[in-house]
Amino acid sequence: MTHRSRWVSAGLTVIAILAIGYGWRTAHYNSHFLSDTQIGGIQVGGQTAQQAAQTLKNKLANQTYTVKEHDNSLATFTSREAGVKAYSTTQLKQMISKQNSFSWPVHSDSASADDQRLSASALSDSDLTALAAKIKQSASTTDRTATHNAKLVYKGHQFTIQKPVYGTEVSTASIKAALTKAIENHQTTINLKDAYVKPTVLAHSKSLVSAKTKAEKLAKNQITYHITNHSIQVPSKDIASWLTTSNGQIATSKPKVKHYLTKLSAQYGTLHKTRHFKAHDGKTYKVPAGLYGWTINVSAETPKLSKAVLAGKPVTRTPVLKGMGYHKDGSDLGKTYIEVSKPEQHMWVHKDGKIIISTPVVTGKPVAGTTPSGVWDVWSKQRNAVLRGKNDDGSNYASPVKYWMPIDDTGVGIHDSPWQPRYGGDWYLTHGSHGCVNTPPDVVGKVYAAVPLHTAVVIY
């Protein structure tokens, strides 16, 4: 019984000693880092917060990094330039408070079980951005290939998915991300290849594969334009050529849609076009373009056509137009217009297909005051205006008129001229106007009343 008691007593003593030791070590790690702790690859195990702060400060203050590309050194910088900030004592105390001090036996023989990496919060964002921009500038001295996402292309009458291009281009953001990752992992050598901009849409992307299927369907949609008395169906191949992808989503190429509408406008529009005008006597005259005419408003119609393409539903529409003289029946001047013959010095007013006024006039005195030939537009109507300009001798004139109808953008118009003693014949050769169509006072009021705004004026 004596020996047994001795062994029991010894065992209890050992247990007590171990318990005291375990408790002491546990208490020790309430104020010290566990033995295997690393911060940013720097060993701080067993150190207090103050000791660890000094260790990190000394290590980070002397840390240098190298950026390489193809074994060539592109740049070197220090942790100070990168804006690396050592943790403060307070921050380190918070780290210690979060560790499990009771688990110290598990960590006693481990070299890297608790590697607390230098987090992004310990880096200066502004310093890192400035450093990345500087490295990008150095990298720009080398010719670089652009990175491209996988995309949908239409070629050979079919849609295919073009593989992405892994280029060598870099950006401030991509370099910054590579620097951050390297510093956080305590890597002192950084390969610029890790900073190459990577495509974000790959060939097997579900969104891109889905876009291909959708594009094939959209290209078959029927979009029809009604322009005057013409019906134009947009060709399927044209629709297909407009379709593209942006980040895997189907879209239209605005420049291509705009190009199509520009061609359509040139084909059917009347603005800036020479006309073959059939005069009052049945003769046909070639009349140059003037201000009168219409075109497709390409800027306004482009988004509407793009929207119709992406909607994928059959649609018939008249495009957005600008200018004047558009008639659904395909006629150009319509049935109401003014006709002026310079050789005959005569004006006819056509109203609803009939000549309601026929009068001699006086046009511009050749050569300086010649009335411009063309198809013009009554763009304004004014009563009791004062016309101002310069005479042939350079002096100024101010001529009051009762009726004023400007037709071009240089000051030429139709008005009464009480100063003219006669009209028609060859009077204009010596007493012609400065370009306007002088009209007898007893007739001009009837002309003013008969024609609405934007009536065409054909001068030949």
203 vs 58, more confident: 203
Tens of pLDDT, residue by residue over 75-129, are 999 988 888 877 788 888 888 888 887 666 655 433 333 445 555 557 889 999 9
Q: Is the per-residue pLDDT at 1 higher than 70?
A: no
Diameter of the chain measured on Cα atoms: 158
Q: Is the per-residue pLDDT at 16 higher than 60?
A: no
Tens of pLDDT, residue by residue over 169-217, are 999 999 999 999 998 888 899 999 999 999 999 999 999 999 999 999 9
Domain ranges, ordered by start, for the chain: 206-323, 337-459
**Locus of tokens 């990577």:** 198
Which amino acid type is present at position 50? Q
pLDDT score for 113: 37
**CA–CA dist 432, 369 (Å, integer):** 8
pTM beyond 0.75: the answer is: no
**CA–CA dist 320, 126 (Å, integer):** 50
Tens of pLDDT, residue by residue over 348-403, are 999 999 999 999 999 999 998 899 999 999 999 999 999 998 887 888 999 999 99
pLDDT score for 97: 86
Q: Is the per-residue pLDDT at 321 higher than 70?
A: yes
Q: Is 217 helix (H, G, I), strand (E, B) or coil?
A: helix
* 446 alpha carbon, distance to own chain's centre: 53
Tens of pLDDT, residue by residue over 143-166, are 999 999 999 999 999 999 999 999
* 175 alpha carbon, distance to own chain's centre: 26
Q: Is 253 helix (H, G, I), strand (E, B) or coil?
A: coil
Query: Which residues, in sequence order, are CB contacts of 349 under 8 Å at separation 6+?
Result: 338, 339, 355, 356, 357, 358, 446, 447, 450, 451
Instruction: Please state which CATH number belongs to domain 337-459.
Output: 2.40.440.10
Q: What is the mean pLDDT of residues 318-347?
A: 95
Across all residues in the chain, what is the average pLDDT?
89
**Cis upstream peptide for 165 (omega within 30°):** no
pLDDT score for 372: 97
Confidence of residue 284 (pLDDT cuts 50, 70, 90): very high
Q: What is the mean pLDDT of residues 275-304?
A: 97
Instruction: Please state which CATH number belongs to domain 206-323.
Output: 3.10.20.800
DSSP string over 270-318: -TT--EEEE-TTS-EEEE---S--EEE-HHHHHHHHHHHHHHTS-EEEP
pLDDT score for 57: 80
Tell me the sheet residues that pair with 78.
64
Residue of 141, 142, 133, 137 whose CA lies nearest to 82:
133
Which amino acid type is present at position 160? T
Active site residue ranges: 415, 436
* 223 alpha carbon, distance to own chain's centre: 25
Residue of 192, 173, 248 whose CA lies nearest to 215:
248
Question: CB–CB of 132/172 below 8 Å?
Answer: yes
Question: CB–CB of 382/444 below 8 Å?
Answer: no
100-114, 309-323, 418-432 — which is least confidently predicted?
100-114
> Percentage of the chain with pLDDT > 90?
71
